[in-house]
Chain A
């Protein structure tokens, strides 16, 4: 058998794998660190330089070239293959992520840089130099082309970064094992040991490939079709940030909180009606929940605002909103603004104990009431506590889940607010990621429904028309006529029960 053509196939695979790891690292770092230009040029630079280092180092390898080649193959398989899951993990857990990132890129680059020169030396006896160089190099570049086409068109959309890197790790290992047969005559000792090593590595990579979701979390399963760029459990919740075709998305305990492509609709609708209802010169603003900082981004558009107090349960969440460029860019670094003070506490407990001056506007943006700990944040007691932090003319707004999917839940919140003594204007809008979404605008004194958003504020979604239409309800989202809706109290938690019953239909 003439093994030369097969060895050339190896060159092709090696080249493809090499570029894939580079692309994985580049994409991943631009996901998590933002600024893709910087990230890509740094990664490419370091990678190419490392390949040069590898090629140079190959000159020091004198003996047992075939074994060394197989070993290097297997090393690339392990490091390159596991690179994406490892990098995701270290991003969520280590403070020196960039050292790990660039270190890993350098190591992979060095190993890949060793591969081709060694292979050329193995092949040099089979061909004359002219043919060798022309074929190896052309295959190398074709491999690169294949990788760069496959990566954006097929691999990232279909497999995601983690599985892509694992898959190519496996390919690399296959090349290594295969080489033990192709180069068998050149391998002096321990062929079997090399093969066993190779198979173990393939198995490990394969196991990881199958369990790829479990690598990032226990519960995420098939939930996320997009790449998970951050996944970590705080004492309060599981935080996951994904990056997909439409942009970044934040999930808390598996529930979507926002998607960057349409969150402006949600947050403009959340924030500006309250400002429109308050009138001139709001100064003190309270934001409960909403640790992603996106509501605050909208709040900070008002030049009169002097002080924003954000109360969010989870320090890991508020830190992430400040430190993860994907989110910090989106919220325009709202949490770093001098006017904003962040308090990490349960809003219920905070309201029960805090002594503060009253606020002009309060934005209440909690996750949906899908458990009792959240349900208490929608009770008459909670709204009564909130009242103690308001003035007679303060305006508040509350996110109230979907009046279409959870109609009773929505109107339960509205009725609860009313029974706590608020005058309420229910309103809704459409956010593609969520569907029809409901809010409540409320004041302690009777007030007119505002007609349009406040002037001189830059808005992407709201204009006079869309603003006015939010206060209209369709038949299938209006207050149910045939049912007596309960009021949500601490001692009945009626809302959690409505919510569970209504959302369970969609599970």
Chain B
């Protein structure tokens, strides 16, 4: 790539200082191997073609239920079916790998995530999710308050987080070093606001913020928060501390792929409040594995392996009076086949409804248009050794490692949870494309440019990263996450979209307005229950 465009690209992604530093050091030639991984782009094209395909009569088979999409939502639905001894279903997943945005990879040494990488320990009320954790043998009983106890080795090991600021690593995410009295006062004040909402209950006794979103209070006092941005809310409350705003901005980018000003205040507070049991408590601990949430989807997949079809893309979903037909393409054999079903669980991202559901092709309901997604890219760096600390007293490698000055989210260390503290490892680097044109920008670039962005960014904190990285693989998530912008979550769109449409039940996590495992799981289970109920009646 020419120097000029290289600088432009680096500036666009990382900002000018990074770009200048990188172009000065001229290290662009020092490159490891690697490739772009994941579903190939053609799949998207196939979908957007809106093909009306005919399936010949002998290519039809029957199944009572088809599940479209093998992410957490689809797999949870399948798991629920299997638990309820219902086995007349088929799950279709377009990729050659199960899990959607929670999928993972592994080499002969360790597993690593491609997207989702943790799950906070659920509250005792989330019984369905707890039964999954029990089944996976992750728990060891309950404590005296009735909360589940997760086995030590699955709880994120300390040190959990560190942040790189002006040449050094510090413990934690909030930048404590150099905080002024005013910074500290504002942090305390912010904590009070969080405590207020943690303790808040509506007349029916519902919490303001809790997982899943479906259990949150619908009282206007809370839902009105959705009408303004998190920035505006912070301003209204008088928060000006730069490091506090950074901390909140980081939270929004991390959980939603949005900047502070793009995120609804409701979603912003949700991040801080939904995982705290009561004021004064720590946020719920994280359950994590080297391969992240890949552990969950692989477990679920194992349970329903014989019902799953990979490399199978649903092309068209055609509801009729008595059921629904699902037409699909096997991307390996290029065969087109059909499933005649009573019910379909739609566990693919909501934006694809307009391509897939025949009735929506001409006429997509408005509320579906409100579902907006943002793009991300994730890089896995295969390192022959860990970066050297630049100072003996630098805070050591943690699970989550964040660079304060960078628009990326930093990286997660795969070997951390295994207790492997020396030698080779895999770093998973996350980059949310927060601006609206993110997707086009992302797909305009190839492997080398993206790898360069990642290396340039990390070399700020790790001078030796280019020597250590033996390989970098990159996943481009075009529609990584639903965006909880102001006036979306409580606009009513989600509620409408969640209603079944002529034998089609919707299950994707998009329906929560917030991309989290718990939400995908919730909708998967809910949709499974709905279809089971209908099945019993029918």
Tell me the A residues contacting B by CB distance below 8 Å: 219, 235-236, 313, 346, 348-349, 352, 371-373, 375-376, 379-381, 384, 489-493, 496
Minimal Cβ-Cβ distance residue in A for B157: A490
A-facing residues in B398-449 (Cβ within 8 Å) = 418-423
Given contacts A219-B392, A380-B152, contact A491 B285 (CB under 8 A): yes
> Besides the contacts A372-B396, A373-B396, A493-B157, what 8 more A-B pairs have beta carbons closer than 8 Å?
A235-B385, A346-B420, A349-B420, A371-B396, A373-B422, A376-B421, A489-B155, A491-B158
A349:B418 contact, CB within 8 angstroms: yes
A490:B155 contact, CB within 8 angstroms: yes
Minimal Cβ-Cβ distance residue in A for B392: A219
Minimal Cβ-Cβ distance residue in A for B395: A372
Contacts of B159 in A (CB 8 A): 372, 493
A373:B418 contact, CB within 8 angstroms: no
Contacts of B419 in A (CB 8 A): 346, 348-349, 352, 376, 490
Contacts of B158 in A (CB 8 A): 372, 375, 490-493, 496
CB distance from A302 to the nearest CB of B (A): 31
Given contacts A235-B422, A349-B419, A376-B157, contact A381 B396 (CB under 8 A): no
Contacts of B194 in A (CB 8 A): none
**B152 touches which one: A346, A373, A491 (CB < 8 A)?**
A491
CB distance from B287 to the nearest CB of A (A): 10
Contacts of B418 in A (CB 8 A): 349, 352
Does B156 sit within 8 A of A, measured CB to CB?
A: yes
Contacts of A373 in B (CB 8 A): 396, 421-422
CB distance from A417 to the nearest CB of B (A): 14
| Complex Cα gap A375–B158 (Å) | 10
The 3 tightest CB contacts between A and B, nearest first, are A493-B158, A373-B421, A491-B155
Does B153 sit within 8 A of A, measured CB to CB?
A: yes
| Complex Cα gap A352–B152 (Å) | 13
CB distance from B388 to the nearest CB of A (A): 10
| Complex Cα gap A116–B533 (Å) | 109
Minimal Cβ-Cβ distance residue in B for A489: B152
**B contact residues, total (Cβ < 8 Å):** 17
| Complex Cα gap A376–B419 (Å) | 7
**A381 touches which one: B152, B156, B422 (CB < 8 A)?**
B152
A379:B152 contact, CB within 8 angstroms: yes
| Complex Cα gap A236–B388 (Å) | 11
Contacts of A375 in B (CB 8 A): 158
| Complex Cα gap A384–B392 (Å) | 32
Contacts of B422 in A (CB 8 A): 235-236, 313, 346, 373
Given contacts A371-B396, A489-B152, A491-B285, contact A346 B157 (CB under 8 A): no
| Complex Cα gap A489–B156 (Å) | 11
CB distance from B218 to the nearest CB of A (A): 35
| Complex Cα gap A461–B421 (Å) | 37
A491:B396 contact, CB within 8 angstroms: no
Minimal Cβ-Cβ distance residue in A for B156: A491
CB distance from B420 to the nearest CB of A (A): 6
Q: Can you sample 21 A-B contacts with CB below 8 Å?
A: A219-B392, A235-B385, A236-B422, A313-B422, A346-B419, A348-B419, A352-B419, A371-B396, A373-B422, A376-B157, A376-B421, A489-B152, A490-B152, A490-B157, A490-B419, A491-B155, A491-B156, A491-B157, A493-B157, A493-B158, A493-B159
Contacts of B423 in A (CB 8 A): 235
Interface flags, B141-160, vs A, CB<8A=1, else 0: 00000000000110111110
CB distance from B157 to the nearest CB of A (A): 4
Contacts of B157 in A (CB 8 A): 376, 490-491, 493
Contacts of A352 in B (CB 8 A): 418-419
| Complex Cα gap A305–B525 (Å) | 58
| Complex Cα gap A490–B419 (Å) | 9
| Complex Cα gap A277–B535 (Å) | 66
Minimal Cβ-Cβ distance residue in B for A496: B158
CB distance from A234 to the nearest CB of B (A): 10
Contacts of A371 in B (CB 8 A): 396
CB distance from B217 to the nearest CB of A (A): 31
Contacts of B153 in A (CB 8 A): 381, 490
Minimal Cβ-Cβ distance residue in B for A351: B419
CB distance from A495 to the nearest CB of B (A): 10
| Complex Cα gap A429–B66 (Å) | 70
Could you say which of A235, A348, A490 has the most chain B C-beta atoms within 10 Å of its C-beta?
A490
